[in-house]
Amino acid sequence: MSESVLSQEELDALMSDGNISDEPVGGSEEDRKTLDNFLTGSTAMLSSNFAQLTIPDASLKGPTVSFTNRDTFLGDLPLMVAVVKADFSSGFPGEHIFVMAEDTAKSVVGLMTHEEDVDLDEHNLSVVSEMVSNLVGTQITTLTKQTSNQSIASIAPEATKVPKALAAFPSGDFLSAEYQLDLGDGKIRQFWEIYGSSVSKAIAYALNNDAKADSAPPRSASRGVPSSGAQASGGGRPAMGAMSGSGSSNVQAVQFPSLTPHITAQEQGNISLIMDVFMEMTVELGRTRKLIKEILGMGEGTVIELDKLAGEPVDILVNHKLIAKGEVVVIDENFGVRVTEIVSPQERVRDMTY
């Protein structure tokens, strides 16, 4: 019976091995510093993209990174907020949210659509979603490079306007990154990015491990002196297949991955799931706005002037989202469109005027 009782030394050893931990729920200080370094390093690129979407003078600064919880975080927010859910769906799956005050979201939308006195209706919330989608895409690109995780993906960001008390935030402790947003008017506004606890831990772990791998010495480095039978080449390094020192390791040629772009089996499988889904594609010749009395006064022979000049490219939309531009052609007595340009995310946002 006495042999099954653990001694104090054995208990201490178990605790030191990480089986028992007193880390805070949200994560360790090392995790916070790692995420702080990553977010600070990517802020310049986010700021540049933000300026392209709004005005050249706009900028993001910061962030201030800390672990917090719902009650504490709500104390920093105004009554009404725009919340954009942009959870990671793979790579580091979990909660990822952007938050800004309602007035800040209105100012951003106004700059992106070149309109004044905007309201956060369904259309303008989609503009906020598009802006966040651009920022998330930039972050994923940077995160992929720094962690070598090729499977990182996010859901399509979706913005909602809610009272802060009804906003859905991660349970328990979570990571909050508070940015300083300047829209060129000298007024500093807050803009928050939130990572769920599991997401922040996973990202910090991947970033730390990748940094350690980059600083570690090559595994094939020889510590001993080549034996008398070994042939040296290239600055004293052992030749392939040579035995170094007293060990019996077989040094083999490094196998480099192909640089040719390809789609992994997993990615191909995911894409194939939606290959047979129909999507509505429309071609838009132009638009205009009319008063109700003008619409009611229309009749046969009424000419409606559109916002496009003769010869301008027409817009190609998928599910009402602009994706390309083209020119009208005639194919066997039917109209068609020849694609002449695929629009960038910035152009998609700027064209969401109506």
Distance CA 131, CA 109 (A): 9
- Same structural domain, 136 and 284: no
Final residue of a structural domain among 207, 239, 265: 207
CATH no. for residue 312? Answer: 2.30.330.10
| Alpha carbon of residue 194 to chain centroid | 12
Give the pLDDT mean for 265-280.
Answer: 68
Residue with tokens 């799931």: 273
Is 155 inside a domain boundary? Answer: yes
Residue with tokens 């010749």: 285
Is 114 inside a domain boundary? Answer: yes
- Same structural domain, 190 and 313: no
Distance CA 302, CA 296 (A): 11
The range of the structural domain enclosing residue 288 comes to 278-350
Is 311 inside a domain boundary? Answer: yes
Is 112 inside a domain boundary? Answer: yes
How confident is residue 267, by pLDDT bands cut at 50, 70 and 90?
Answer: low
Give the pLDDT mean for 288-297.
Answer: 88
Final residue of a structural domain among 207, 225, 250: 207
Residues in a beta bridge with 255? none
CATH no. for residue 47? Answer: 3.40.1550.10
Is 170 inside a domain boundary? Answer: yes
CB-based burial label for 18 (10 Å; 0-12, 13-18, 19+): exposed
Q: Which residues contact 100 (CB under 8 A, 6 or more apart)?
A: 81, 82, 108, 181, 189, 190, 191, 192
Q: Which residues contact 230 (CB under 8 A, 6 or more apart)?
A: 238, 239, 242, 243, 244
Contact criterion met (CB below 8 Å) for 131 and 138:
no
Record the tokens describing residue 90, joined without a space: 């793979």
- Same structural domain, 146 and 54: yes
Tally of domains in the chain: 2
User: For 316-353, what is each residue's pLDDT tens digit?
Assistant: 888 778 888 898 888 887 888 989 888 876 666 666 55
User: For 160-192, what is each residue's pLDDT tens digit?
Assistant: 999 999 999 998 999 999 999 998 888 899 999
Distance CA 338, CA 343 (A): 14
φ/ψ bin of 320: left (φ > 0), alpha (ψ from -120 to 50), beta (otherwise): left
User: For 199-233, what is each residue's pLDDT tens digit?
Assistant: 999 999 999 887 555 555 544 444 444 444 444 44
- Same structural domain, 184 and 327: no
Final residue of a structural domain among 207, 222, 239: 207
- Same structural domain, 202 and 288: no
**CB neighbours of residue 282 within 10 Å:** 10
Give the pLDDT mean for 119-127.
Answer: 89
How confident is residue 263, by pLDDT bands cut at 50, 70 and 90?
Answer: low
- Same structural domain, 84 and 182: yes
- Same structural domain, 34 and 147: yes
| Alpha carbon of residue 286 to chain centroid | 33
